[in-house]
Chain A
Amino acid sequence: MRSLPTKRHCLLSCTKYLIVTLLVLCITPWIGSEKLDAEQVLSDLTHSAEYHIDTKILIDQRLPRTILAFLVGASLALTGSVFQVILRNPLATPYTLGVTGGGTVGAYLAITFSSLSFRLGPLTSTQCFALLGSSLTLFFIYSLAKRKTTTSIFTLLLTGVTIGIFCSAIILLLSYFASPNKLVAMNRWTMGGVDVIGYGELSALLPLLIPGLVLLFMQTPSLNHIALGQEMAMGHGVDVHTLQRNVFIAGGLTTAAVVSLAGPIGFVGLIIPHIVRQLSGFDHRIILPSTFLLGGAFLVVCDTIARTILAPTEMPVGIITAVTGSPFFIHLLLKNKQANY
């Protein structure tokens, strides 16, 4: 029997995910091909002015990577859960609106025309072009779907899918003419990864990511209503058109930022929202923070596996997300078969 969710109940539900996330964030930076001396690191952090190599690895390499993996996973999962309810489509992902296609074309162009190579602050030309491609796609899709007072979800979806297909064609074309070494770089980018060098790239991500995430979280109270359909939601007092516009812009910005830095990492945005709904119900005041935390923790764990399983080389994290997530999701589906999910 499920009673009405209170503030306490929501906090308690989210706390479970928070504990898991904190554990993951505390443990995983210590795991890697290079074994770190915890005592040495702790003593460095508390006393020493000159850091030991282990401390440098932890602070300069493992920590920024862990934070990036968390932010990427959390953002993709959060955007996925909001898109699934707004588009009323359980298969919706952050990539449904075609933003990734634009990002990939941008990245491929930067790799193809290496004479364009530059650095903009901490960002490489590939990351800059990916961001530009994603943003242009976002702008294009939005201007097509925008009506006088509404945003057409139908046009949004169709345009997103069409742009995705069009981008795939350009991607194939660029791959066809690419030299073998560039082809490898392209393939590697498509597989996604969170192997950053330092905090610079992380800070470059934040101006897009933070407004996007805040705007997405601000929509939380309206999302339960939109799950009952647009008209019922409007009847209850939800400004559906503003909600759709905010979600599209915020989700688009978040995805563009994430894709430009980490490439198109699949699966997290699709599966994590479903797992959270199966574990914690359908109230978005619980779903959104929980999805954010679990998505982040999940990608951190996957990245830890990706960088250790074939050490000293690394496996693309997208492979690990799919291989570890799918069986768990199928297990949950079978377990909850009786729950009409």
Chain B
Amino acid sequence: MTLSYLHVDQVDFSYSHSDWQLEHVSLNLSPGKLVGIIGPNGAGKSTLLKISAGLIQPSKGTVSLHGTLINQFSRKVIAKSLAYLPQQVNSNYEYTVEEIVSMGRFAHLKGACFLEKSDLMIVQDCLEQTQTTDLRHRYLNELSGGQKQRVLLASVLAQTPKVLLLDEPTTGLDMYHQSIFFNLLKSLQNNDIAIGIVTHDLNLAAIYCDELVLLDQGKVIIQNKTDQVICPEVLEPIYQDKIIFSQYPSSNKFVVLPAITENN
């Protein structure tokens, strides 16, 4: 059995003034694995990711990073091995791409956080890895959605994390940029990084993820290998008759399409 880098064990969570709650949810992220967290709107995907990143505290259950409870670490120590990319990143301030990526080194720096030579090399590497070197002098706010997401990925990669948590990083991107982004994530798997990604797109999850966690109404329905999750028996009870299944051209994998109802 592979040692998991991040282990979320039976967590419960609820927001104040709301009946909705996350119940007994568990998640394992192991090195070299890309795990997708899928489910309909309001299933609790982003909440689970925030709990996993230690951003919010569960009311019950535990989150362990490399075998130690995450709440025993300071945020800086967590950031040295766990990187989290939120759904939306906006700023009124004009930072260049290079500045944004270099901010990822924060947890590794002391004092006023000026970069050493080794940090500059890591920043350079991350820019190259995400194909954003040419953009390095441009401002984040000037970039297209796809470019911006790659830059933000470079920024969290500069943390040199062992666990990477991404919250819907390809929302709003066209297919070309979605494909670039996920292929980039696949290339990171060789570095023994454990990746957890929240996505609405069942097809991207079906094609790129090794394992999937399916959530619905705050509960885990199934956590298994992708082909065991993207199948009619599992998804139809959740998405009902709103989806139909087809075959991916070059493999036996299922892909999911929106169903055309009679009204259409």
Contact = CB atoms under 8 A, between A and B. Distances in A.
A and B: interacting chains: yes
Interface in B83-114: 83-86, 88-96, 98-100, 102-104, 106-107, 109, 111-114
A227 B141 CA distance: 13
Interface string B114-134: 110000100100000000000
A221 interface: yes
A34 interface: no
Nearest to A7: B114
A113 B85 CA distance: 57
B112 A221 contact: yes
Interface residues of A, number: 37
Interface string A330-341: 000000000111
A90 interface: yes
Contacts of A232: 85-86, 89, 152
A3 B93 CA distance: 16
Given A149-B57, A228-B91, A4 B102 contact: yes
B112 A2 contact: no
Contacts of A238: 75, 106
A235 B85 contact: yes
Interface string A209-240: 00000000000111011011101101111111
Minimum-distance CB pairs A-B, first 10: A237-B79, A237-B107, A235-B84, A231-B86, A282-B93, A237-B76, A221-B113, A227-B93, A239-B75, A236-B106
A229 B90 contact: yes
B137 interface: yes
Interface residues of B, number: 47
Contacts of A65: none
A240 to B, nearest CB: 8
Contacts of A277: 93
Interface of B: 50, 53, 55, 57, 74-76, 78-80, 83-86, 88-96, 98-100, 102-104, 106-107, 109, 111-115, 120, 123, 137, 139, 141-142, 152, 155-156, 159
Main secondary structure of the interface of A (DSSP, over half): loop
B114 A340 contact: no
B59 to A, nearest CB: 12
B107 A282 contact: no
Interface of A: 1-7, 10, 85, 88, 90, 149, 220-222, 224-225, 227-229, 231-232, 234-240, 277, 281-283, 285, 339-341
Nearest to B161: A235
B106 A225 contact: yes
B115 A4 contact: yes
18 contacts: A1-B137, A3-B137, A7-B112, A221-B106, A222-B106, A228-B91, A232-B85, A235-B83, A236-B155, A237-B79, A237-B106, A238-B75, A238-B106, A277-B93, A282-B93, A285-B113, A339-B94, A341-B94
